[in-house]
Amino acid sequence: MGRDVLLIEDEPNIIEAIRFILSRDGWHVQTHSDGKSAYEKVLDMRPDVVILDVMLPGRSGFEILRDIRGGGETAALPVLMLTAKGQTKDREMAESLGASRFMTKPFSNTDVLSTVRDLVGA
């Protein structure tokens, strides 16, 4: 069963909250905050699931998701998109690019944990 999560997020409070929630449940959480090198981190780490923020320095989460979905061996990787906006167009963009799930901030700890578990079939 997969237990490696790559969290691509640049807000320290969100990083700490998600790391705490998932680590307590036995997940190994690595974080990355730079949009420009995020896809390379996905390739290096080969996580079981990616949690990806829409708003990142360097490149947007949408661009990174496009890379993941077009990347052959990463094409089927479960991706949970996070955004602060919660606008319909963001959700539609995430879905059209192939996000596995979409969650708006603020989110509940329970929702994050249950969604990550669902994405890897845990």
Write 105-114 long-range contacts (CB < 8 A, 24+): 105/14, 107/82, 109/17, 109/21, 112/18, 112/21, 112/22, 112/51, 112/80, 113/21, 113/22, 113/25
pLDDT band at 32 (very low <50, low <70, confident <90, very high): very high
Tens of pLDDT, residues 51-80: 999 999 999 999 999 999 998 999 999 999
Would the pTM of this model clear 0.75, i.e. be above it? yes
pLDDT averaged over the chain?
93
pLDDT at site 84: 77
Q: CATH homologous superfamily of domain 4-120?
A: Response regulator (3.40.50.2300)
